[in-house]
Amino acid sequence: MIGARLMPTMLACLLVCGMPRAHAGDADEAPSEKLVFGMTPVIGVEATRERFFPLANHLTSLLGIKVKLEVAESYGDLIDQVAKGEVDLVKFSPLAYVRAKERIPDLRLIAAHVAYGSKTYSSYLVTMQDGTFGSLADLHGARICFADPDSTSGYLYPVAYLLEHKIVPDTTFRSITFGGNHRACIAGLIAGRFDVAATFSGAIRDARQAGLPVGDLFILAKTGRIPYDAYCLRGGLDESLAVKIKSVLLKINTLSRTGRRVLDPTLGINGWIEADDHLYDGVRQVDALVTKYQRK
């Protein structure tokens, strides 16, 4: 069966810790030593930076090192930055992690986040509720928008789902567009530039918060459950610092007032759990299937 194994859906417990309150100016007052925290532009560069800046600022206060948030221009760009040693701590989408690990063997996975009380999330194909594209059989000649070629929910799982249902994207769709991020795909769908968009549950919540009329959307298909993002450290990072980063990250959660304040903007993140590389084996299986199709 295509997709990652469905994991327990509710976070049983997270450690509660008494954390010092971070202030907006803390990042600028930190020591000159710097830790670069990189991530994919899941909902666009600026929107992602805005949502995750409070977390980066809070990490600055806890680590005693200035944490500089860097949102890459694309998923592939982030992999390149890590390969060049330009990023110390990185938040990878599952597929980007799988591809980065192949290219950068000493990449060190330390955690995965939990969001909306679950260890996994849903990938969707969505359209408008006007009924024009009410089923998979209606997709011939449609215009589809994928988020990014390295996006798990915005490309990999939807393509695998379509192939499983005998729908070959290159011959079925009138046009295939990569929007660059999930919010752009949803916005383009609502604006009428696309007929179908590949996205994930959290992106629809984000679009609603951004004021987009997501109530007009129709979920055409749920294309699979996926483990959440991988948090990694570059190879060669000082071991004592690596241990501290992991310890600090695992203690931040929404069971504390400070944790809620820091994490509320972050697309539903509740906290972090330790992660093993095998967590993403299901993603590798789906990637192998899609890669086989692409090579034909």
**Could you write out the DSSP letters of every residue in 19-51?**
-PPP-TTHHHHS-S-EEEEEE--BTBHHHHHHH
CA distance 227 to 204: 18
> pLDDT digits over 114-132, tens only?
999 999 999 999 999 987 8
Residue 105 has pLDDT above 80, yes or no: yes
Residue 29 has pLDDT above 50, yes or no: no
Pairing label, strands 66-71, 34-39 = parallel
Residue 66 has pLDDT above 50, yes or no: yes
CA distance 107 to 264: 28
Pairing label, strands 120-128, 66-71 = unpaired
Residue 14 has pLDDT above 50, yes or no: no
Residue type, 254: T
Report the pLDDT value the prediction gives residue 33, as an integer from 0 to 100.
79
Domains and CATH numbers, the chain: 26-118+228-277 (3.40.190.10), 120-226 (3.40.190.10)
Starting at the earlier edge strand, list the strands of the sheet with 34-39. Answer: 66-71, 34-39, 89-92, 230-233, 108-115, 269-273
Report the pLDDT value the prediction gives residue 296, as an integer from 0 to 100.
66
CA distance 235 to 248: 19
> pLDDT digits over 158-189, tens only?
999 999 999 999 999 999 999 999 999 999 99
Residue type, 277: D
Q: Is the separation of the CB atoms in 72 and 87 below 8 Å?
A: no
Position 246 confidence tier, pLDDT thresholds 50, 70, 90:
very high
CA angle 225, 94, 166 (to 5 degrees): 55
Average pLDDT on 206-220 reads 93
Percent over 90 (pLDDT), the chain:
84
H or E element, residue 207? helix 201-209
Percent over 70 (pLDDT), the chain:
89
Average pLDDT, the chain: 89
Average pLDDT on 56-71 reads 97
Token readout for 118 is: 């679950």
Report the pLDDT value the prediction gives residue 132, as an integer from 0 to 100.
86
Average pLDDT on 267-293 reads 95
Query: 259 — phi, psi (to 5°)?
Result: -60, -40
pTM: 0.84
Report the pLDDT value the prediction gives residue 27, as an integer from 0 to 100.
39
Lowest mean pLDDT of 9-23, 195-209, 233-247, name the range: 9-23
